[in-house]
Amino acid sequence: MPTWGKLSGRPLNQLETMPSLTRRSFLAGTALAAATPALGAVPASGDTDIIIVGAGAAGIAAARRIADAKRRFVLVEAADRIGGRCVTDTQTFGVPYDRGARWIHLPDVNPVTKLAARSGLDIYRAPPGQKLRIGRRYAREGEVEEFLAALVRSTRAIGEAARSGKSDVSCAQALPKDLLEWRSSIEFVLGPYGCGKDLTEISAADFAQSAERDTDSLCRQGFGTLLAKLAEGIPVQLGTPVTQIEWGTRSSGVDVETPRGKLSARLVIVTVPTPLITSGQIKFRPDLPKRQLDAAARLPPGSYDHIMLELSGNPLGLQRDDLMFEKAEGSRTAALLANLSGTTLTQVDVGGKFGRDLAAQGEAAMVDFAQEWLGNLYGSDVKKAVKRRSATRWNEEPWALGAFSGATPGGQPSRRILMEPLGRLYFAGEATHETLWGTVGGAWESGERAADLALKRFTAPLESEKPKRKPSGKPKRKPSGRRA
């Protein structure tokens, strides 16, 4: 079950006055261009074993795996940078901040964390909980106990609905009816904040299947910086969007069309977000089977954005990486992450339908909301402390079209469907991970898995590649007429 449904591990009566529950510049392409070519990589015009589409976490993980196997590959990326939705900006504020993924979930088992140990970057444990604000004050111990109890009952109810054996329902349908004054806060924490969608849009089965993310680490230099470090030595063809993939028309390989020309290989791994599969932005020849198209359509991205404010003098009085929710009265709410990695940056996170509508109004409207929201919680003087500001709008990014995936009610099996190889075509990305969807670790594992499946084809070739047996020339023996 996701981390947002798990207590901090302490008895409720031991929670302090500001207690908590437990949670879960753009990198320059020139840096990659200067990198040493990876073992197994070939130029676009060379003889290629595998083409990888998309240089996010899944694509980078797949490329590393294939390089280790000494197979030839080409990694292409539509954007002018690597990282997908995991990218660190060092230019806007002069200090690093992550425009997308920030939390390194389950660091003890996360494959990215294990590799990070050799990166030389500062990886540290995130604070173990979050604070709860009620208007201009922090929640009292009894109020926190009420909220935590309601939150636990809610996550249990969703899990019970998923295990009931009946048809899948939305998380909203599974919620207890007696949440009363805590309903809006719980709906935000479990929905827009945890999944990027309102609970009405989230499959209870998918939510329940998600692994608990009860511990987190952070990278002081940025998660995007860490991902770029892991991509060092892997050449990437940036600014190379794929327009068409011919995956079943040639008996001996695949053809990938780009504005820079055609690439050919034996196999292709596609790691792009699901809307690029369903929208026709990338055409597939022949068309993808309805089974795969329906699966991708049931895993649409949510909406999740950061509004960044530079606050001088720490007017909120919070510690490094403190996370705070409010007792909300409706959907117009957010989460706050203060003093990112010890800097003066404060991050206000919005998501779900409210976040999507707000982002559609533009960056100025997003900043206005964040300042108004903080003013209501900490006083109007907070606005005076705001220096520079910025906001992400992932729904407008042409190669992302939103945040991480979330299965619609009835759509949880779609993740496993997308894992299935289609001849010479493989899919990877966080949407193809059943328990770590929505995470960089899940995307990384999916890339490694797709690469492993593809590499097996070189020891166990496709049926169409097996040499045909020649007839022996001996006459066939006539049946004896006896039955065994």
What DSSP letter does each residue of 355-402 carry, written as one string?
Answer: HHHHHHT-HHHHHHHHHHHHHHHH-TTHHHHEEEEEE--GGG-TTT-S
What CA–CA distance (Å, rounded) separates 306 from 130?
17
Tell me, what amino acid is at 67?
Answer: A
**Radius of gyration in angstroms for the set of CA atoms belonging to the chain, rounded to a whole number:** 25
What CA–CA distance (Å, rounded) separates 121 from 87?
15
Helices (H), 308-361: 352-360
Helices (H), 179-303: 183-188, 194-195, 204-209, 223-230, 274-278, 290-297
Tell me, what amino acid is at 204?
Answer: A
Instruction: Dig out the tokens for 180 from the structure.
Output: 């009363």
What contacts 68, CB < 8 A, 6 or more positions away? 39, 40
Instruction: Dig out the tokens for 326 from the structure.
Output: 């409010």
What CA–CA distance (Å, rounded) separates 52 from 60?
9
Query: With left for phi above 0 and alpha for psi between -120 and 50, is residue 307 left, alpha or beta?
Result: beta
Q: What is the pLDDT of residue 478?
A: 40
Distance (Å) of CA 60 to CA 5, 228, 394: 31, 9, 21
What CA–CA distance (Å, rounded) separates 152 from 438?
21
pLDDT in tens, the chain (484 residues): 344 433 333 222 223 333 333 333 333 332 333 333 344 554 544 579 999 999 999 999 999 999 999 999 999 999 999 999 999 999 999 999 999 999 999 999 999 988 998 899 999 999 987 899 999 999 999 999 999 999 999 999 999 999 998 899 999 999 999 999 999 999 999 999 999 999 999 999 999 999 887 789 999 999 999 999 999 999 999 999 999 999 988 878 999 999 999 999 999 999 999 999 999 999 999 999 999 999 999 999 999 999 999 999 999 999 999 999 999 999 999 999 999 999 999 999 999 999 999 999 999 999 999 999 999 999 999 999 999 999 999 999 999 999 999 999 999 999 999 999 999 999 999 999 999 999 999 999 999 999 999 999 988 655 555 555 555 555 444 433 333 3
Do residues 415 and 205 lie in contact, with contact meaning Cβ atoms separated by under 8 Å? no
What CA–CA distance (Å, rounded) separates 369 from 151?
26
Whether omega for the bond prior to residue 286 falls within 30 degrees of 0, making it cis, is yes
Q: What is the pLDDT of residue 463?
A: 52
> Domains in the chain, ordered, with CATH?
1-24+142-214 (no CATH), 35-83+231-300+403-459 (3.50.50.60)
Positive or negative, the Cα torsion across 46, 49, 55, 61? negative
CA 275 to chain centre: 14
Closest among 379, 453, 467, 380 to 423, alpha carbons compared:
453
How is the chain split among helix, strand and coil, in percent rounded to 5? 35, 20, 45
Phi and psi at residue 216, to the nearest 5°: -140, 155
Closest among 137, 90, 138 to 308, alpha carbons compared:
90
Instruction: Please report where in the chains the tokens 């591990």 appear, as a residue.
Output: 9
